[in-house]
Structure 1
Amino acid sequence: MFAALRRVHREWKGLQAFKRVPREERKIVFYSEGKGYWSHFEPVFSALQANHNVPVLYVTSAEDDPLLLAPPVGMHAFYIGEGSMRTLFFSTLDVDVLLMTMPDLQSFHIKRSPFSVHYAYLHHSIVSTHMIYRAEAFDHFDSILCVGPHHAEETRAREQALNLPAKKLVEHGYGRLDTIIKNGNPGPLTAEGLPIQVLIAPTWGQNGLIETHGIDAVRPFIESGLRVILRPHPRTRKFASAVLDEIAEQYRNEPLFRLDEDGDGNASLLSSDIMLSDWSGAALEFAFGLERPVIFADVPRKVLNPDYTQIGLEPLEVQIREQLGVVVPTDRLNQLGGIAQAMVADSEKWQATLRAARQRWIFNTGKSGDTAAAYLTTLLN
């Protein structure tokens, strides 16, 4: 009880500190749902500082966000939690621009402010906008920083179908992908004397790979002598914790297995030869960023918008799977070890295909932060 009261008090202090910032200094504000989203904001922030010298106010709902303790030069950070103080923050917001990665603005308790604020959406996944998101997820933003041509086409198709006001669509790109490319070593790994490393990184939900198949998605790799890193979605830990605990207990003393629940997970991504996923956007980050192939377990589609077919466009994550790897029916999960070994042996052949797919589907590779920063500065009053 006292811990909860202390947290609310800290959230209230964070909100009041934000409100004390003079209005003329509230130019660009980033809102982050959690510390795992910084990888999407960072390229934009860096470009704002390097190219425009524009300070940023960073507002986070994560109590343990490291930026609260050590914000970079050019940033002031504030903690508001995810309860009533966050609701109050949004309902009284008076700034020039709010950049956020959280969809569903105006749909639930997070509403647009009565003040003249420009709401810009920064995509935190490469996947399409109309299947794994709710139907109205992006309707109430003023501008969308699009990852690729699919986002622009889908957004315009929905606007036309429902006669919605046209948003400003920016050919942005994907900052997290730029960071992966910069920090990674594209193409096959060449570590000698070590078994192949498989990164299992599925999405979450009732049809998710871990939720539906659990240890059966891990066992075939271990039995084939491959190293496995299981990186579950944070929401899998929240809603299917027992499954993760069962897997962790089973392989507690197995040197080939590791459970990675670090919010960032970049080290696991960069060091893996191949990925097993389902409908997770992480699969596209891995394939496009590292030019290494993906095994897609063919679990049922993740659908939050049952009417997604109405705009007549196949979601990117559906149409691109066989360009990025192979699709394996769930009744063949026991063959995953051999499939992974065969794909890694052909990694150089996959690399050219993956690079071509990235050029087709991603805007401004390596330059997304500069593009976003240049656009955001045009919105300042």
Structure 2
Amino acid sequence: MHQPPLWRQHRSHVLLAAVALVLYSSPAAAYIDPGTGSALFYVVTGLVVSVYFAVRGIYYRAIDWFFRVRRRDQRCEIAIHCEDPRYEITFLPIVRALDAQGIEVTFFTMYPRDTSFEALPNRTVHRAIPEGMMGYAYLNNIEATLLVTTTPQLDVMTFRRSRRVRHYAMVQHALGESRFVRPYAYDHFDSVLCCGPIVKANIRRIESIRQASPKNLLETGIPHYDEMTKAARQAPPLEGEPVVLIAPSWGPLSMFEAFGTGFVKTIARRFRVIVRPHPQMRVSQPELYSEILGLDGVEVSTDRTPVSALSSAHILLSDISGIAHEFAFIYERPVVVIDRQMKTGGLEGELLGGDSELKQQCRDFIVPVQPTEIDHIADHLERVLRSHSVETLEKVRSQLVYNFGQAGNVAARQLAELYAVEKTGASISTREVRA
């Protein structure tokens, strides 16, 4: 694993030492009035902080300069960037389909791959790069005809466009809408492989508001739905008493953050319960994560993928997590969500205005329940189980998701065409690659 330099590891200690020197200096035979003392304090601490950020800036510029030197392992034709292991399920269907077309791919991961991962196809070369700033410095100077990623905000934060990459394409890793992403999430990509018509319409509206040049928007779908659909078809039929899967998001809008874990015990009195805490909780909310792991009378799932937990449940209880759409559309089973109002301040929803289109169109099978009803949530789960209609769900799914179950093959065809167009030097700015 990449280790940061020694000065960076101990930068907090350096700052504390500097402040301590200012605060606890030895007495001197002189008088400084309070105003002058405060001014000196701010001057000295300002200098210390300025020096720290200057040194850090030099460090990151040095990293960037290092990766600007043309290295053999930074050159490829089609680069796929995978930021985290949980996104492999998005890329693997695409990589397999490209391999079947005889197309070579370089798969860059910001983590090591060992034998526990699925083997990559023969025409796919794997290269592990550092995580964080070092990894993005590498990518920012890569040389490729086409770079594919699922990481948003290209050319906004640390992930910058390389002058030696001709075309940037983004694949979406969940069904969603542009409303709940950070500003400029898609703006600087050349192509976006859209999951459904809502995102496509959102992006076109954002382009109109910002008076930006229209990008290439492809009707692709969600590649990882292909993988989940295969697993769902292989799962044994559900039997026995109803099983409730509780799988919320993490952070301030999470059910566990809002209500604690007491409601889980209430549900467990009437249903068999599986709890799947969001993986990010382990990092960002370790105390709450430990509390969930210690719940009595319920099963806790921490597998790398949620497939086993999803296939075992009759109904899902969640909040704003994307797992709600996966469970509904893949397993064709109902969902209850705690309908906490998401704030769009600082997100693209602030620009778009209005309410979530997805929520409105899916409310018959992803049923919103007010937070005030948390004490009666078991009653709502029972009601939704009784009234669920698979036919209604299938109809809405066909309207909201492009190429359901075939998105990996579609994405591979689209990327192959983008690659061919870039290699021939043709322009795609005025037309869309076929779906």
> TM-score band, normalised by the shorter chain?
0.7 to 0.9
Give CA deviations for 1:239-292 in whole Å, capped at 9, x if unaligned: 1121121122232xx2xx122222311111122111111111110111111111
How large is the Cα RMSD of the aligned pairs? Answer: 2.8
Amino acid at match of 1:344: L
State the partner residue of 1:182.
Answer: 230
- Which range is displaced more, 74-83 or 272-281? 74-83
Asked if 1:265 corresponds to 2:265, the answer is: no
The match for 1:216 among 259, 262, 274 is: 262
Give CA deviations for 1:76-108 in whole Å, capped at 9, x if unaligned: 112112233212212211111111111111111
Q: Give matches, 1:1-381, under 5 Å.
A: 4=3, 19-21=71-73, 23=75, 26-50=76-100, 52-63=101-112, 70-130=119-179, 132-185=180-233, 190-192=237-239, 194-224=240-270, 226-251=271-296, 254=297, 257-301=298-342, 303=344, 305-306=346-347, 308-312=349-353, 314-347=355-388, 350-380=389-419, 381=423
- Any stretches of 5+ residues in structure 2 without a counterpart? 6-62, 424-435
Shift of 1:330: 1.7
Helix, strand or coil: the match of 1:87? helix
Query: TM-score, normalising length from structure 2?
Result: 0.76
The CA distance in 1 between the partners of 2:114 and 2:268, in whole Å, is: 35
Distance 1:343 1:95, change over 3 A: same
State the partner residue of 2:432.
Answer: none
Q: Which has the higher contact order (CA 8 A, sep 6+)?
A: 1
Q: Is the 8 A contact 2:182 2:348 kept in 1?
A: no
Distance 1:191 1:377, change over 3 A: closer
Distance 1:154 1:307, change over 3 A: closer
Distance 1:81 1:228, change over 3 A: farther
Amino acid at match of 1:355: E
Shift of 1:116: 3.4
Distance 1:199 1:304, change over 3 A: farther
Helix, strand or coil: the match of 1:310? helix
The CA distance in 2 between the partners of 1:185 and 1:360, in whole Å, is: 22
The CA distance in 1 between the partners of 2:74 and 2:285, in whole Å, is: 44
**How many residues are treated as equivalent by the alignment?**
360
Distance 1:147 1:111, change over 3 A: same
Give CA deviations for 1:214-236 in whole Å, capped at 9, x if unaligned: 30342222121x22222222222
Distance 1:307 1:140, change over 3 A: closer
Shift of 1:332: 1.5
Amino acid at match of 1:356: K
Amino acid at match of 2:262: D
State the partner residue of 1:9.
Answer: none
The CA distance in 1 between the partners of 2:262 and 2:191, in whole Å, is: 43
Shift of 1:163: 0.8
The CA distance in 2 between the partners of 1:112 and 1:22, in whole Å, is: 14
The CA distance in 1 between the partners of 2:303 and 2:357, in whole Å, is: 27
Query: TM-score, normalising length from structure 1?
Result: 0.86
Distance 1:219 1:69, change over 3 A: closer
State the partner residue of 2:428.
Answer: none
Distance 1:306 1:169, change over 3 A: closer
Distance 1:42 1:75, change over 3 A: same
The CA distance in 1 between the partners of 2:259 and 2:74, in whole Å, is: 53
Helix, strand or coil: the match of 1:263? coil
Helix, strand or coil: the match of 2:280? helix
- Any stretches of 5+ residues in structure 1 without a counterpart? 7-11
Amino acid at match of 1:100: T
Amino acid at match of 1:274: I
Distance 1:156 1:241, change over 3 A: same
Q: Is the 8 A contact 1:186 1:291 kept in 2?
A: no
Higher-Rg structure is 2
